[in-house]
A and B are shown apart, each in its own frame.
Chain A
Amino acid sequence: MQIIQAIPKMPIWIFTSIRNRYIFLLFFLHIFAAQAQEKDSLTSRKITTDTNKRSYLPNAMRIGLDLIGLGQLPFSSKKYLHINSDISFQNKHLWFIELSFAQNKVQQEATYDAQAFIARTGYSYNFIHKQSAYDVFALGLRLGRAWHKESITAQAKNALFGSTEVNLENQLTATWIELNMELKARIWKNLMTGYSLRYQFKPWQSGESNFVPYQIASVGRSTKNNWGFQYYIWYLIEWGKNKTNKNPKK
Chain B
Amino acid sequence: MPKYLTKAFFLVASLLSMWACVEFEQICAGSVEAPLKVNFKRKIIFKDRNNLDSIVFKDSFLYIKNIKVLENDSVLYNYKLLSDSLVSTNLIYNPLKDSTAYIFSYNKGDTLAIDTIYFGYNRQIELTSPECGVKTNYSNLKIIKHSFDSLVINNANNTSDTENAYMDIYFNQK
A191 to B142: give the CA distance in the assembly, Å. Answer: 64
Residues of the A chain whose Cβ atoms lie less than 8 Å from the Cβ of B130: 106-112
Q: How far is the CB of A112 from chain B (nearest CB, A)?
A: 4
A side interface size, CB within 8 A: 53
A147 at the A/B interface (Cβ < 8 Å)? Answer: no
Decide: A161 near B8, CB < 8 A? Known: A42-B1, A154-B134, A156-B125. Answer: no
Binary interface encoding of chain B residues 1-44 relative to chain A, with 1 for a CB under 8 A from any of its CBs, else 0: 11101101110111011001111000000000000000000000
Which A residues from 192 to 207 make CB contacts under 8 A with B?
194-195, 197
Main secondary structure, interface of B, reads mixed
> Which residue of A20, A110, A162 has the most chain B CB atoms within 10 A of its CB atom?
A110
Which among B58-66, B90-98, B104-112, B151-159 touches the partner chain?
Answer: B90-98
Residues of the B chain whose Cβ atoms lie less than 8 Å from the Cβ of A161: 69, 72, 74, 92, 94-96
Is the pair A212, B137 in contact by a Cβ cutoff of 8 Å? Answer: yes
Residues of the B chain whose Cβ atoms lie less than 8 Å from the Cβ of A159: 92
Residues of the B chain whose Cβ atoms lie less than 8 Å from the Cβ of A17: 23
Residue of B nearest to A212 (CB): B126
The answer, among B17, B95, B127, for a CB contact under 8 Å with A152, is B127
A110 to B95: give the CA distance in the assembly, Å. Answer: 17
Identify the B interface with A (CB < 8 A).
1-3, 5-6, 8-10, 12-14, 16-17, 20-23, 69, 72, 74, 76, 92, 94-96, 124-127, 130-137
Identify the A interface with B (CB < 8 A).
11-15, 17, 19-20, 23-24, 27, 30-31, 34, 37-38, 42-43, 106-112, 128, 131-132, 135, 137, 152, 154-162, 164, 166, 168, 183, 185, 194-195, 197, 210-212, 214, 229
